[in-house]
Amino acid sequence: MESLVITYLAKYGYAILFAAGIFGIVGIPVPEESLYVYVGMLAKNGSISFPRAFASLLAGTLVGMAISYTLGRIVGQPLLDRYGKYLGVTKKRLRKTIMHWDLSRSLLAGFFIPGVRQFNPYFAGIARFSIPGFLALSVLGGSVWVLLYMSAGFLISSYIQIKPEYLAIAGAVFFVLFVVHFIMKWKKSSHSRR
């Protein structure tokens, strides 16, 4: 995997990390953390520049946040009005959720939860969260998120060697555990409402 990532970086430059940052937010909810840890490990062994990789991943993340926010602001409400009933999302439920959703806290902490980080900017757009506030929270939360995982990879590789395949497996396991936990909480809250 290392040679594959280095090959892509050599061919496309840091644009490939920028694209990974965008699709990590706009794309499907998968744990990008394993990629960011791996990029930190590559930076430790000198294969790539830590500051340039950080800047590329963060810029991609922020562009992804802006795209999702814009989509939520422009087409989010009409889509939910039209197709929400098929997902069990009524206007009343949506208003209630948005009114009780602490978007500020969620935008900061949501980066660390796969699935939540992808939907937060979309819901912030639907809720018409202020653009300056959204950008500030996105920059702060995204910076901490990317830096933390890249630094973890950088530090881990100083003490132990981890094969990249294991990082991908660990990321998948954590994602599955998150989904199972989410489903269990949802079922529990469904039963308590009855």
**Strand, coil or helix: what is 89?**
coil
CB 148 within 8 A of CB 140: no
**Residue 57: what residue type?**
L
Give residue 2's pLDDT.
Answer: 47
Rg (CA), the chain: 18
Give residue 35's pLDDT.
Answer: 79
| Domain hosting residue 168, numbered range | 2-193
Give residue 140's pLDDT.
Answer: 92
Number of domains in the chain: 1
pLDDT of the chain, 194 residues: tens digit per residue: 445 656 766 677 788 888 888 888 887 666 677 778 888 888 887 778 889 999 999 999 999 999 989 988 888 766 666 666 666 666 666 666 665 666 777 777 777 777 777 778 888 888 888 899 889 999 999 999 899 988 988 888 767 665 555 555 555 565 566 667 667 766 666 666 55
On whether the pTM is more than 0.85, the answer is: no
149: part of which helix (H) or strand (E)? helix 131-159
CB 41 within 8 A of CB 157: yes
